A and B are shown apart, each in its own frame.
Chain A
Amino acid sequence: MKKPVIHFENFTFKYDSQKEPTIHDINLTIYEGEKVLIVGPSGSGKSTLGHCLNGLIPFSFKGDIKGSLTVKRQETKDLNIFSLSKMVGTVLQDPDGQFIGLTVGEDIAFALENDATTKEVMHEKVIDISKLVKMEEYLDASVHALSGGQRQRVALGGVLVEQVDILLFDEPLANLDPATGRHAISLIDELQQALNCTVVIIEHRLEDVLDQDVDRIIVMDKGRIVSDTTPNELLASDILEKSFIREPLYITALKYANCELTPTKELEHIEKLKVDTYKAPLQHWYEYATFEKHIQDRSPVLEVKDVTFSYGDKVPTLKNISFTIQKGEMISIVGKNGAGKSTLSKLICGFERDHRGNVVFEGKDITNDTIRERAEKIGMVMQNPNHMISKHMIFDEVALGLVMRGYPEKEIKKRVEKTLQICGLYPYRNWPISALSFGQRKRVTIASILVLNPEVIILDEPTAGQDFYHYTQIMEFLVELNKQGITIIMVTHDMHLMLEYTPRSIVLADGELLADDASVNVLSDEELVEAANLKQTSLFELARRADIDEPTEFVARFISFDKEVRKIGNRNVSVH
């Protein structure tokens, strides 16, 4: 008989500052040794549920609780956050906020220090744990010398020292590159085997989590649990579409091909998928799904010529980078964490200076232009919107650039309102920015750049942490801009985004340019994928397993078909 470790019963929670409850009568039981995945659109209450588990609610975030939540048969209301933290170990989304110590060793030891453990015991434990999370060589390394993936492993180590029996992850994959994300997931799996603990994962990137087996998937929407079932059952159903969660791509493909999806087909993993009965329909669909290439010849708008750059005295962050971007192109920059993608974008905008090599815009060398001069031509949307927003009201924020350039009142009003309309923010124009969701803030920052009519826009991870709905919104919006002739450069970790929206991509790894090629070719080159921490989307695998001779062509057709469908907005367009 399975032993329940977590048990929600008619559980409702309302933040003090909110009018309505954020999560409504939750009934959920999680059993010992289970691995449970929680998905749902952003704002659906996933993190809130997590906070209830680890005690931040009600001990840190105040609010009213109805119903009961027991962890290992103890009512959490009656415990305190310390005793809860001994049972539930939480790895937060933002590794920077979580990494409190100055060095790896210190950070792993943090909980032990607070428990006043003697130094000897502490050092032994830290060594054991660091082996567990494969960081034993880095014990004395400082935070700033670690990659995103390593920081996360340290964070994991930091909670493991407590010998917790429940591990809770809130978006462990956010802004990790694909390969690193994959390692993170398999490490979590290994640890669960080794320590046989219970694991709860909150994550948008469903397909990446399913890389390793998961026992159950909970789907949340608007603060309620809309589904609680096995991956196979869920994937066979249409719940994911309904609540705007991106299903694994191969599943979408199968649906397009009108395949009969049944749980018995091992849908949860492309490797296991019983593909045989699907081959025929897939090939059939492949024949019919059309795909129109439209390549018009263009003139170069931006040229980066043999650029080398380093922060301070360190080894160069970028080494001899050269590439050319054509007018009206939509292109991605992809690669490892710490490869230098954000740095490259900053160089192009003149944020970082004194580098070797030149930057040329429409044939004119702009290497020595000031940030401000370049901003007229090239706009940059930062990774973190909070780094850009300096005004209280949306209108003022978007207007700032124009005001600074001394445009007349009337014109400013006209241009800002037009831009707000394009960005779908017009209805909110008089809202304070503090009342907006992350996705909306991101769009405000895009608007504030757009209003200056740049010819090139660079976006650093425009869709990170966004759910599928906002993802689609933002991307379709960018496509619109692109149609109006604006050149768009995107830094991203999302392989499908790169395939779907940017025909061409530039691949960086450790400061070097590994490739500058059609996106499909990039992903079909195994070595390149390996070298740059990229990841093939499951569509390639599906095509191979369905004996389709041209996997890349299959992917291409899938994408154009998918775009059509998403425009029409229903999946039932048949290809017969």
Chain B
Amino acid sequence: MATEMLAYIDRKSFIHELSGATKLIIFIMWSSIAMLTYDTRILLFLFIFSIVIFKISKIKIREIGFVLLFILAFLLLNNIAIYIFSPQEGVKIYGTSHVLFEIAGRYNLTLEQFFYQTNITLKYFAVIPAALLFVVTTHPSEFAASLNKIGVNYKIAYSVSLALRYIPDIQRDFRTIAQAQQARGIDLSSKEKLFKRVKNATSIVLPLILSSLDRIDTISNAMELRAFGKKKKRTWYSERGFKQKDYVTIVIGAIILVVSLIITFYDGSRFYNPFM
């Protein structure tokens, strides 16, 4: 029952060959556009463009299928929730109301609401491929180096790489502890009453935390002994130097960023309004 998690997928592709820092920068730009804009045209462009990039990366859909399913389910629920809470949000935003078909009073489906919710969904679709790609095409060892390169303090960057290094170990500890406690009669299944389950959960969380605190001591001793933090700066064994393609990519990314922001705020509103 090893639960799946996204991890680096090794391929020979243009995306893989880019430096981690480049990908990080692009990812940040990409996310910020998608967060700021609400302009349907741009969102559509981002979405289609990221599909193309996805193709280039030679990553197969089924390799990340499990997260896609999760995300789709999430979006569905989210849309329903939005509709229940505020079925006329679209009308509020776009200022017109074209009723598509009657349901009941304020729950009448309007074109505006439909358009608005499509945009929300699109907003997710515009970033998700980029995020996924970033995770599966950047080697964890390179990640810390990249963070450092874009200006994050190297100590903090290193703590990220420590996290990536020890997630599998902690997960293994967690399983072992859970098993040991179950053997002693602690029931983790949903059969128990809520309060009982909380109590039981702590009997697993506590050993996990205490053993992790021990881990922190050993690791910091080991790092101390190997002169971590000796100098102001630090080099990285698995850093990947910038090549021409990196510069090109970043420039393109920057252009997209600027242009889309201009288009977005050109008319003073982040919403693209087809209704007037």
Contact = CB atoms under 8 A, between A and B. Distances in A.
Direct contact of A and B (CB under 8 A): yes
Interface of A: 54-56, 59-60, 81-82, 85-86, 90, 92, 94, 96-98, 100-103, 105-106, 109-119, 122-123, 126, 143-144, 158-159, 162, 311-312, 346, 349, 351, 353-354, 370-372, 374-375, 379-380, 382, 384, 386-390, 400-401, 404-405, 448, 452
B215 interface: yes
Interface of B is mostly: helix
A59 B228 CA distance: 14
Given A401-B184, A405-B185, A390 B239 contact: no
Interface of B: 1-2, 140-141, 161-162, 164-165, 168-169, 173, 176-177, 179-187, 203-204, 206-207, 210-211, 214-215, 218-231, 233-239, 241
Nearest to A80: B230
Contacts of A59: 224
17 contacts: A56-B224, A85-B226, A98-B222, A103-B238, A105-B237, A110-B228, A111-B226, A354-B1, A375-B185, A386-B210, A386-B211, A387-B173, A387-B180, A388-B177, A388-B181, A390-B207, A400-B203
B224 A113 contact: no
A81 B176 CA distance: 36
Contact of A387 (B141, B161, B207): B207
Contacts of A55: 225
Contacts of A143: 165
A100 B207 contact: no
* Candidate in B164, B219, B234, B235 with the most chain A CB atoms within 10 angstroms: B235
4 closest cross-chain pairs (CB), A and B: A97-B218, A404-B185, A109-B237, A351-B179
Contact of B224 (A81, A122, A123): A81
Contacts, number: 158
B231 A115 contact: yes
A159 B226 contact: yes
Nearest to A51: B221
A371 B182 contact: yes
A90 B177 CA distance: 30
A404 B221 contact: no
Given A105-B238, A354-B1, A372-B187, 20 more contacts: A59-B224, A98-B222, A102-B164, A106-B237, A113-B234, A113-B236, A114-B231, A118-B235, A122-B235, A122-B237, A143-B165, A349-B183, A375-B183, A375-B184, A382-B180, A384-B211, A389-B207, A390-B181, A390-B203, A390-B207
A98 B219 CA distance: 6
Given A102-B164, A143-B165, A312-B2, A115 B230 contact: yes
Contact of B211 (A92, A112, A387): A387
Contacts of B204: 390
A82 B230 contact: yes
Contacts of B180: 380, 382, 387-388
A372 B226 contact: no
Given A92-B218, A404-B185, A112 B237 contact: yes
B225 A90 contact: yes
A85 B227 CA distance: 7
Contacts of B231: 114-116
Nearest to B214: A386
Nearest to A401: B184
B235 to A, nearest CB: 5
Given A56-B221, A386-B210, A386-B214, A372 B182 contact: yes
